[in-house]
């Protein structure tokens, strides 16, 4: 008899838990129905917004002279390499070693200059993007307040998100018009 009472008690507990879960799920569905959520793709904003496009063009123009100097160094190194390969047999040892040293120095300078430019370019991009992201966050806050969003998430890549909650294009338009 004791086992039957335990089984009945377990069944009653299971039924009570199921009823509680069912009523809570209705509560959460009702609550979620009032929740307004938006999603923003910041990568797209940094690629397509007017300030981002303008910043990219500005940065490119800023680094054109340095890029030209690097290309000039590469051409000089190629010329020295070609001369060394072509004439090394007929050159005196001292002249060949001098040319090899010159080529090695130019190669080191080329690599150093190229690395420095990459670092400066990266720093410059980060500067501009941080300004754009601050502006983006201001715009998102304004949109959230005026359109009464409860939650806006910034997502880079997501497996799935409904176009209904994606407000990226709205944010881009607001940034472009600011």
- Domain 35-177: CATH superfamily is Skp domain (3.30.910.20)
Nearest 10 degrees: Cα torsion 124, 129, 131, 137: -170
Domain ranges of the chain: 1-34, 35-177
d(CA 177, CA 134): 16
CA angle 139, 144, 145 (to 5 degrees): 100
At 102-117, the pLDDT tens digits run: 999 999 999 999 999 9
What is the gyration radius of the CA atoms in the chain, in angstroms? Answer: 32
Instruction: Supply the pLDDT for residue 13.
Output: 61
Instruction: Supply the pLDDT for residue 27.
Output: 46
Instruction: Supply the pLDDT for residue 119.
Output: 96
Q: Is residue 152 within a helix (H) or strand (E), and if so which, with residue range? A: strand 151-155
Return mean pLDDT, the chain. Answer: 83
At 143-162, the pLDDT tens digits run: 999 999 998 888 765 666 67
Instruction: Supply the pLDDT for residue 62.
Output: 95
What is the reported pTM?
A: 0.66
Instruction: Supply the pLDDT for residue 69.
Output: 95
Tokens for 78?
A: 């190629």
148 dihedral zone (left: phi>0; alpha: psi -120 to 50; beta) = left
Q: Residue 41's closest CA among 152, 176, 178, 174?
A: 152
Instruction: Supply the pLDDT for residue 18.
Output: 44
Contact 107, 123 (CB under 8 A): no
Distances (CA, A) of 149 to 40, 145, 165: 13, 7, 10
Instruction: Supply the pLDDT for residue 111.
Output: 95
Which residues of the chain are modeled with pLDDT < 70?
Answer: 1-33, 156-161
């Amino acid at each position: 008899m004791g086992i039957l009472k335990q089984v009945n008690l377990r069944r009653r507990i299971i039924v009570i838990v199921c009823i509680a879960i069912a009523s809570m799920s209705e509560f959460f569905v009702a609550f979620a129905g009032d929740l307004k959520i938006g999603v923003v793709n910041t990568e797209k904003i940094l690629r397509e917004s007017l300030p981002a496009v303008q910043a990219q063009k500005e940065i490119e123009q800023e680094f054109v002279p340095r890029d030209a100097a690097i290309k000039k160094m590469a051409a000089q190194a190629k010329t020295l390499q070609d001369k060394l390969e072509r004439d090394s047999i007929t050159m005196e040892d001292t002249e060949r070693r001098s040319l090899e040293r010159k080529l090695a120095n130019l190669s080191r300078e080329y690599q150093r200059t190229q690395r420095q430019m990459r670092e400066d370019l990266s720093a410059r991009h980060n500067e501009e993007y941080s300004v754009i992201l601050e502006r983006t966050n201001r715009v998102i806050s304004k949109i959230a307040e005026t359109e009464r969003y409860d939650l806006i998430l910034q997502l880079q890549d997501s497996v799935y998100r409904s176009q209904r909650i994606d407000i990226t294009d709205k944010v881009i338009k607001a940034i472009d018009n600011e």
